[in-house]
Amino acid sequence: MKRIGVLTSGGDSPGMNAAIRAVVRCGIEAGMEVYGIKRGYEGLLDGEICQLDRNSVGDILHRGGTILKTARSERFRTEEGQTHGVSVLETFGIEGLVVIGGDGSLRGGCDLDRRGIKVMGLPGTIDNDLGYTDFTIGFDTAVSTVLDAISKVRDTSSSHERTTVIEVMGRHCGDIALYAGLAGGAEAVLIPEIETDVNELCRKILIGANRGKQHSIIIKAEGVEISTAALTKTIEERTGRETRPVVLSYLQRGGTPTLRDRMLATLTGAKAVELLQEDSDSKAIGTVNGEIVAYDLQQALAQKREIDREMYDLIGILSK
């Protein structure tokens, strides 16, 4: 394989640039030409493709976001869009493609795979919602960002003796809330995988207050059925304690990637080039028990992410 492409798609995540850098420089070292596709599948359809050299990816290892930009593409979801995407790749002579993104982005890679394009999928999403890999690129940085926010919110919550509901990202997977809640000492964590018992939550807040707790921190994933505004109002009404919401939103997507995210991005990027050089079938690349692994792309995406129930229960024990 002599000519490969790389794109980032869907929501951005810290570490994407490190992955791009690894793909470009490892690809060039392997004697390949590497082409960057801007704005994900949307840019592919528009032919926004340019050749990258070593200098193109200089000084980006530490930067959040993605130099290739990213977008969501409704056009690519159609049969016509996917067929056109393949024709654009063929026009540029691109034989293999590295896709850095989440579930939807990698499923787009499956569509190209079915049309004869070799695709290597890298798990670029802060949500950590891909079942085939222990961790995704950007998750560790996002949790670190949330932990920093928890520390700051705790200072003011303690001063005012109030309850604070911190909403974090995670529409279908509550890992950001779960990990940040455990490491940040939250009184409770609400995630979409487990039904929320508002009565139990309010009882816990009152029991803690009666025991002398000056404040309570509740971490809530955005995918939880009850809205943050409604939850905040209910807690305040039932406990009689001042309650405020904090929505971190896109703050979690930005920032300098952590060591873990830089390493994961770099090693999976290098593995993608290695597999393309071998003309391997399409793969999803990730990490299991600290080792870089590669699974059949379609089979990998069929794996469901399971919540760590022991970690969830431990939060309840430690916060009593």
Q: Which of 26, 31, 24, 34 is nearest to 3 (CA)?
A: 34
Q: Which of 111, 113, 127, 140 is catalytic?
A: 127
Q: Give the span between the Cα atoms of 84 and 90, in whole angstroms.
A: 10
CB of 132 within 8 A of CB of 41? no
Cβ-proximal residues to 220 (8 Å cutoff; 6+ apart), any chain: 165, 166, 167, 168, 177, 189, 190, 228, 231
| Alpha-carbon radius of gyration of the chain | 22
Q: Is 241 annotated as a binding residue?
A: no
21 is in an annotated binding site: yes
**185 known member of a binding site:** yes
Residue 11 among known ligand-binding residues: yes
- 127 flagged as catalytic: yes
295 Cβ neighbours under 8 A, 6+ residues apart: 132, 283, 284, 286
Q: Determine if residue 213 is labeled as part of a ligand binding site.
A: yes
Burial of residue 74, with CB atoms counted within 10 A of its CB: 0-12 exposed, 13-18 middle, 19 or more buried: exposed
Residue 252 assigned to a binding site: yes
Find out whether 207 is annotated in a ligand binding site.
Answer: no
Q: Is 222 annotated as a binding residue?
A: yes
277 carries a ligand binding annotation: no
42 is in an annotated binding site: no
127 is in an annotated binding site: yes
Residues identified as active-site: 127
- Binding residue ranges for ATP: 11, 72-73, 102-105
